Structures are given as structure tokens and as C-alpha cells.
Amino acid sequence: MARSDVIDLLKREIVDIEFKKLSGDIRVLTCTLNPASLPPARTEDPLSQKKVREINEEVCAVFDTINQGWRSFRWDHVISVNGEAYSE
């Protein structure tokens, strides 16, 4: 399964992504990018907010449906997606 396939899947449904954390621990993250499952967007004035960080193509930010918060993982640390081996 390729990165573009994973992103398409995340946009459609809830996905289990198994990856190795920077600490070396293995984690399974139940997550999505499906707009119907995401929290409502903030209504604050975007001009009053600081820029959080630059976009890093090696990291994917997703919504954790179990803990109800935004999390991220590194693409090069992904082991499997919905039990299927991942390869870039």
C-alpha cells in the first residue's frame, strides 16, 4: 500500500495505522481525515493566530478517533495500515 492510497483511505474512513514511535515503542493509531469525523473548525480570526509550524511532507497529521485529538506519525516509521504491510 502506497502513501497516496493511505491518504485516500484516511479521507474516506477510520483507519488503524501501526507505526514505530521515536522512542522505539510500537503503537496502533485509530485515526481519520474524513471531514464527517473531524471536530468543528475553530472560528477564531486566523490573522490573530501564530503560525504553528512549517508543513513537513515526511509527517502525517491525523485525527485520533479514540482519544479525540490530533496526532501525527512519520511516514518512514509506518509498519502497516489496517493490517496490510506498508511500503513507500
**Sheet-wide strand order for 69-74:** 69-74, 59-64, 26-32, 15-20, 78-81, 84-85
Q: What is the pLDDT along the chain (88 residues), one digit of tens a residue?
A: 889 999 999 999 999 999 999 999 999 999 999 999 998 876 555 555 555 667 788 999 999 999 999 999 999 999 999 999 998 7
Reference 32, options 66, 79, 80, 83; nearest CA is 66
Specify the pLDDT at position 80.
Answer: 97
Specify the pLDDT at position 57.
Answer: 87
